[in-house]
Amino acid sequence: MQKFDVIIIGGGIVGCMTARNLSRFDLKVLLIEKETDIGMGASSANSAIIHAGHDPVPGTLKAEMNHLANPMWDQLSKELGIPFKRTGAYIVAIGDEECSCLESLLEQGRENNVLCEIISKDEILKREPLLNKDVSGALFTPTAAMVDPFAACLASIENAIENGVVVLTETEFTGFIIDNQIISGITTSKGDFLCRWVVNAAGAYSDEVMHLAGVHPEFKINTRKGEYYILDKSEMHLENILFPVPTGVSKGILVLGSTHGNVLVGPNSLTEPDRENKSVTAAGLSEIWQGAQKLVPSITPRSIIAVFAGLRSSGNARTLIPGVDYDHDFLIEVSKEVEGLINLAGIESPGLTAAPAIAERVAQFLRESGEELVEKKDWNPIRNPRPRFNHISQEEQKNLIAADPRYGRIVCRCEMITEGEIIAEIHAPLPARTYDAIKRRTWLGTGRCLGSFDMPRVTEIMANELGIPLTEITKKGPGSEFLLRHTKEVEILDEL
């Protein structure tokens, strides 16, 4: 059996950031992910916001981690080469009744050490003319930002790999190897691995992981579904993040821009017992559209190009620490019952924002538990992003094509993604081996045609580069193959 110092279960943003942070130390680290790619859960289906931190209940881990992590993203985005825009956000009040709520939100924001201010109706309409003219004011939080959440996952894990972390996808955790309440390894669908520490960053399944260690039987993840619309960037443009006044169960239905130029609408918040169900519903989509029109009445259905849903992993344990209610808060701890287990569970919003601070907390736990964390002399925090043809100057495009003519062949016409970009992702530090993996990395297939034109060409390129038949190319993994057989292999049925 291979032996590691630390094994991380789960390749979402928390697992990937933790792997990257631990890669700076002289440790052997393994990250396992049960899906065909990293970031296929909540980390690639969310509102893509780095939250300022006004919303979490003061005194909670959510509030603490949000406050610590928000300022980290400027340096992180530069080191990792990920799309990031420090735009600020507006919590918009419609009508006099909602306006009265802004003062309490301001007070809570200040209690969480968040820079915020209330601005007038005239000022918010000057900053965002598309807003409902019945707006009565807004709370402005200037430290909120937009990010590409999957790019943050990918860049973190690529940098971790470049610094020595081992990553295994399609590797499902099945149990612990425990002796006298001390973890010495894990069992997986790809064999057993020895280790001294296990970091449980399994997202929607983090409760099941800890239960297999006999820890926190009272803790249960309750998943909630959030549905979204994506609008055509050529139809509507928005630079701001617009929140409604929040409800008791969510931050409400947003209308916001993105690092890719599209406008995003959503999410709602629906109880979803099936942790794999990311289907959208007619009732849910109707709900978020009505919510969006309340903020931006000019929004039109003709702008819609796609819908999707994501699942949030909310914890419900109330008895972890006497006098502290962890219901709907993060659970971040070194287990007291089993030696060698770190739990990172219930990481719902603002989990994306908080991820780098959570990663640093893991290193702190290891130090406090007696691990000597020696920094590598050759650790490199820089991950150089691969060229994005549509985002560089004409002169840079010319030079790129001269160096590699494949960058001169456009495959996705909506987003102007080239053959060179696709091939680069197939041979990246964490190779893209499905159509959706390439889509998340390059943004191909996300325009008005939704991949209708590029898909045949992309599958052909993948088959050639991976050296496998076209019939083995999948959308998102086994069971999602595009093709069954060649047309000329269709059997002619004997009508007799």
* Pair 168, 190: CB distance under 8 Å: yes
Q: Which residues contact 391 (CB under 8 A, 6 or more apart)?
A: none
- pLDDT above 50 (res 155): yes
User: Whole-angstrom Cα distance, residue 304 to residue 263?
Assistant: 9
Mean pLDDT of 304-327: 73
Q: Which of 113, 98, 95, 124 is nearest to 52 (CA)?
A: 113
Same domain, 209 and 198: yes
Same domain, 105 and 232: yes
The CATH number of the domain holding residue 119 is: 3.30.9.10
Residue 51 annotated in active site: yes
Instruction: Give the side-chain half-sphere CA count within 13 A for 203.
Output: 30
Per-residue pLDDT, averaged over 394-419, amounts to 97
Question: Quick one: average pLDDT of 223-240?
Answer: 93
pLDDT at 317 over 60: no
pLDDT band at 195 (very low <50, low <70, confident <90, very high): very high
CA of residue 307 relative to chain centroid, distance: 17
What count of Cα atoms within 13 Å lies in the side-chain half-sphere of residue 131?
29
Same domain, 159 and 215: yes
Record the pTM. Answer: 0.95
**Are 232 and 306 in the same domain?**
yes
Residues 419 and 276 in one domain: no
Q: What is the total count of domains within the chain?
A: 3
How much is the pLDDT for 320? 47
Q: Which of 51, 54, 67, 328 is catalytic?
A: 51
Query: Cα(122)–Cα(294) distance, rounded to whole angstroms?
Result: 18
Per-residue model confidence (pLDDT) at position 496: 44
Please check whether residues 287 and 346 belong to one and the same domain. no
Q: Domain span at residue 106?
A: 85-145+222-312
pLDDT of residue 485: 84
Exposure pattern of 373-412 as b/e (b: 16+ CB <10 Å)? Answer: eeeeeeeeeebeeebebeeeeeeebeebbeeeebbeeebb
CA distance 110 to 98: 19
Taking CA 444 as the corner, what is the angle to CA 33 and CA 462, rounded to the nearest 5 degrees?
A: 65
What pLDDT was estimated at residue 398?
Answer: 98
Token pair for 29: 């680290």
Helix axes 13-22, 351-368, angle to 10 degrees: 40
Contacts of 387 (CB under 8 A, 6+ apart): 396, 400, 407, 420, 421, 424
What token pair was written down for 295? 């903020």
